[in-house]
Amino acid sequence: MNDLRTPLSRVRGLGSAKDGTEHFWRQRLTAIANIPLMLYFIWVMVQLIGATHEEVVACFQKPSVTIIFLMVFGSAFYHMKLGMQVVIEDYVQGGAGKIALIANTFFCIGMAAACGFAILKLGFGG
């Protein structure tokens, strides 16, 4: 079988999409990052069960809580985008696949922005 890739491309291990294993490693990195982030998220949420609005706002006014929660949602939505991208590329063909990839990207950015806004609003006393 003829290999149409350049010698440099073969050395770098890049496939036809020119991504190589970068997508794979990004997904694994976000998965590893999500473990401690989600454990912290769950721990804080359990602590806030039954809390009043004022207590929740006071919790989120701690910079560490606000920053880590921003990291939680940033990492989680990026991980979700990467995972859904793989599913879409594998199972949705043609023009519908391109539209689905665009919709996936916009959905994940929109949800991350909405969560970020809510966390920042709480963090600044909302």
Q: What is the pTM of this model?
A: 0.82
User: In the prediction, which pLDDT does 1 show?
Assistant: 54
What's the pLDDT tens digit per position in 10-64? Answer: 666 555 656 658 889 999 999 999 999 999 999 999 999 999 999 999 999 999 9
| CA neighbours closer than 13 Å in the CB half-sphere of residue 104 | 19
pLDDT digits (tens, 9 = 90+) for 68-116: 999 999 999 999 999 999 999 999 998 999 999 999 999 999 999 999 9
pLDDT at 13: 59
Q: Rounded CA gap, 53 and 5, in Å? A: 59
Using alpha carbons, select from 37, 36, 13 the residue that is nearest to residue 25. 13
Q: What integer pLDDT is reported at residue 11 of this predicted model?
A: 64
DSSP 50-77: T--HHHHHHHHTSHHHHHHHHHHHHHHH
Contacts of 12 (CB under 8 A, 6+ apart): 20
**What domains does the chain contain, in order, with CATH numbers?**
22-123 (1.20.1300)
Q: In this predicted structure, what is the pLDDT of residue 125?
A: 85
The residues, any chain, with a CB within 8 Å of residue 18's CB and separated by 6 or more, are none
| Helix, strand and coil in the chain, % to nearest 5 | 80, 0, 20
